[in-house]
């Protein structure tokens, strides 16, 4: 029996996996240069926390949002707590659990990092059209579900890019200019 197609498919899968593995490391390293005092992992832990209701910010929920272990999420939360950006408080729902809450300094850091995040996203996706980004996102979500679990994504809730100070509009205007200059 001829297995050319199977060999080719296996080759493509290996190449896709190897590229994805290397890309994740490259994105972490590059992201670390953008977030001024935060690693890209710490930043994504903050983003995951922002996408949870205030009373749902447990380590378990943060870990689930990030697709990681409770131990890894706990390490990330502890490192952010040491920076003074969050505090750990007792859960009002479950006496055995704790919740993560942002400090005033942490809220300022979130605002500061939102500009860095826009620059990071614009830079890494500079050669992608909107349609290509949508296709990539759909394919990545499909790959995420290889084990039957669905990604508890970042598309719901979260910190809106609007405020009374016009910060949201300023950030979006900057993003629009950056995307336009990269076309």
Residues of the chain with pLDDT under 50: 163-164
Question: Per CATH, is 18-182 categorized as 3.30.450.40?
Answer: no
Residue 171's pLDDT is: 83
Instruction: For residues 166 and 72, give the distance between their C-alpha atoms in angstroms, rounded to a whole number.
Output: 36
- pLDDT tens track for 77-101: 999 999 999 999 998 888 888 999 9
Nearest one of 46, 78, 83 to 62, comparing CA atoms: 46
Among residues 53, 35, 45, which one has the least CA distance to residue 70? Answer: 45
d(C-alpha 158, C-alpha 82), whole Å: 23
The pLDDT value given to residue 164: 47
Assess contact for 151 and 67: CB atoms under 8 A: yes
pTM: 0.85
- The DSSP string of 72-130 is HHHHHHHHHHHTTSEEEEE-SS-TT-EEEEE-HHHHHHHHHHHHHHHHHHHHHTTT--H
The chain-wide mean pLDDT, for the chain, equals: 90
22-48 burial code (b ≥16 CB/10 A, e <16): eeeeeeeeebeebbeebbbbbbbbbbb
How far CA 126 is from CA of 22, 70, 123, 136, in Å, comes to 19, 34, 5, 14
């Amino acid at each position: 029996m001829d297995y050319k197609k199977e060999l080719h498919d296996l080759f493509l899968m290996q190449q896709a996996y190897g590229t994805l593995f290397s890309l994740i490391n490259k994105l972490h390293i590059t992201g670390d240069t953008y977030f001024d005092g935060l690693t890209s992992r710490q930043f994504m832990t903050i983003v995951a926390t922002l996408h949870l209701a205030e009373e749902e910010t447990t380590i378990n929920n943060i870990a689930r949002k990030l697709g990681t272990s409770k131990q890894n999420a706990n390490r990330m939360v502890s490192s952010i707590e040491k920076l003074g950006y969050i505090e750990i408080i007792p859960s009002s729902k479950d006496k055995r659990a704790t919740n993560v809450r942002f400090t005033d300094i942490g809220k300022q850091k979130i605002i500061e990092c939102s500009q860095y995040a826009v620059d990071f996203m614009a830079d890494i996706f500079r050669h992608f059209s909107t349609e290509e980004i949508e296709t990539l996102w759909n394919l990545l979500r499909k790959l995420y579900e290889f084990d039957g679990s669905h990604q508890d994504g970042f598309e719901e809730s979260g910190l809106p890019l609007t405020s009374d100070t016009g910060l949201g509009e300023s950030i979006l205007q900057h993003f629009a200019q950056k995307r336009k200059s990269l076309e």
